[in-house]
Amino acid sequence: MAFEAARKLSRARGAALGLTWQPIGYLFIAPAVILFVVFVVAPIFASLFLSFTRYDVLHPPTWVGLDNFRILLFEDPRFWKAFRNTALYVVGVVPTGISIALLLAAALEELPVGKQTFKVLFFIPSVTSVVAIAVVWKWLFAGEKFGLINYGLILLGLQPIDWLLSPRWILPAIMIMSVWAGLGYNMVLFSAGIATIPRTLYEAAKVDGADWWARFVHVTIPMLRPTLTFVIVMSVITSFQVFDQVYIMTGGTAEGVGGVLDSALTLVSYLYEQGFQKFRMGYSSAIAYTMFGCLIGLTLINVRMLRSQQ
């Protein structure tokens, strides 16, 4: 018995000091690792390979070298249209959405009651299927005077807009919807960040005569830097990959995934169309990798800029 106990003790101590391995760990991670290799690692290399081929699913892929990328970057106006639309979408949605969410989170602190209720109400779109949100907004944006938003415009003395069928307004309509949908999530994140800022900083600023805006600019924003960096980086990444709402808002017409005259064609919509409607899977993979490159670049730029401001 004493021997048994001593052996257990030395084994436990050995483990603590890192002297023994616990190979059962491999068993614990096995399901995750197998799935990961098959459905994440293999696809990453497979799509890199496919991006150098022509592949229509029916025939085996043929190697075309850098052709897909050359055509994409130099001979495909639709790719650049999609790129431009996506860039406009990111620039339109990210700064607006983040500024409003940040202001709301800071203003929320001033409320004596109802904080939790407002957080809950603003958060509801974050638990709603984007597809459902998009069909509801499609109805709100309905043309002529039957859509609720156009009714609002008429009440304000403005002309109704044919939001979803006009090349000029479809992208702004999708942007408005996306800002609305993303507001609550970011507000809750910022609010959690603000809760960790020491109250004494605000008290000190008040003593120095700083008004609400000064406290917001000189205390809240600098103290929130890590959260802010995270939210900006994540928002740019997710907005750059926008698809669900675009697919729905442009859907139900004969115009295809891009809406009228491709006016709402985004990069992922284009990738989807090329891969799964035209079965040009090699070309589609080249779009995916080009986007991957852009995202790495964007993230590095974001992180650099946000660091250097510190």
Partner 1 sequence: MGTQRWKTSLVFSLFVLGALVMVLPYYWMLISSIKPPAELHTYPPRFFVQHPTLKAYIELFTLLPMARSLLNSAFVASTVTLSNVLFCSLAGYAFGKLRFPFRDAMFFVFIFSLMIPWQVNLIPGFLIVKSFGWLDSFFALIIPKLALPFGIFLCRQYIMSIPDAFIEAARLDGCGEFRIYRRVILPLITPALATVAIFTFLAQWNDFVWPLVVIQSSSMRTVPLIIQVLNGQFGSNFGMIMAGALVVTLPMIVIFLLFQRQFIRGVFLASVQE
Residue 302 lies near partner 1 (rule: CB under 8 A):
no
- Find the shortest distance in angstroms from Cβ 41 to partner 1: 8
Q: Which of residues 266-285 bind partner 1 (CB under 8 A)?
A: 268, 271-272, 275-276, 281, 284-285
Residue 216 lies near partner 1 (rule: CB under 8 A):
no
- Find the shortest distance in angstroms from Cβ 24 to partner 1: 5
Residue 300 lies near partner 1 (rule: CB under 8 A):
no
Q: Which of 1, 2, 22, 58 binds partner 1 (CB under 8 A)?
A: 22
Residue 33 lies near partner 1 (rule: CB under 8 A):
yes
Interaction pattern, residues 39-58, with partner 1; x per rule: CB under 8 A: xxxxxx-xx--x------x-
Choice between 201 and 237, CB closer to partner 1: 237
- Find the shortest distance in angstroms from Cβ 188 to partner 1: 5
Cα 80 from Cα 176, distance rounded (Å): 23
- Find the shortest distance in angstroms from Cβ 3 to partner 1: 14
Choice between 42 and 261, CB closer to partner 1: 42
Cα 199 from Cα 26, distance rounded (Å): 47
Residue 185 lies near partner 1 (rule: CB under 8 A):
yes
- Token digits of residue 284: 């589609």
Q: Which of residues 187-206 bind partner 1 (CB under 8 A)?
A: 188-189, 192
- Find the shortest distance in angstroms from Cβ 181 to partner 1: 10
Q: Which of 73, 251, 260, 306 binds partner 1 (CB under 8 A)?
A: 251
- Find the shortest distance in angstroms from Cβ 81 to partner 1: 18
Q: Which of residues 112-151 bind partner 1 (CB under 8 A)?
A: 112, 114, 116-125, 127-133, 135-140, 142, 145-146, 148, 151
Residue 252 lies near partner 1 (rule: CB under 8 A):
yes
Residue 176 lies near partner 1 (rule: CB under 8 A):
no
Residue 26 lies near partner 1 (rule: CB under 8 A):
yes
Residue 63 lies near partner 1 (rule: CB under 8 A):
no
Q: Which of 1, 2, 16, 58 binds partner 1 (CB under 8 A)?
A: 16
- Exposed, middle or buried: residue 268 (CB in 10 Å: 0-12, 13-18, 19+)? buried
Choice between 64 and 108, CB closer to partner 1: 108
Long-range pairs for 216-221: beta carbons < 8 A, 24 or more residues apart = 216/103, 216/106, 220/106, 220/194, 221/102
Q: How many residues make contact with partner 1 (CB under 8 A)?
A: 102
- Find the shortest distance in angstroms from Cβ 45 to partner 1: 8
Tell me the DSSP string of the chain: -HHHHHHHHHHHHHHHHT-S--THHHHHHHHHHHHHIIIIIHHHHHHHHHTTEE--SSS--EE-TTHHHHIIIII-HHHHHHHHHHHHHHHHHHHHHHHHHHHHHHHHTT-SS-HHHHHHHHHGGGGS-HHHHHHHHHHHT-TTTTSHHHHHHHHTTPPP--TTTSTTTHHHHHHHHHHHHHHHHHHHHHHHHHHTS-HHHHHHHHHTT--HHHHIIIIIHHHTHHHHHHHHHHHHHHHHT--HHHHHHTTTSTT-TT-GGGTT--HHHHHHIIIIIS--HHHHHHHHHHHHHHHHHHHHHHHHHHHHT-
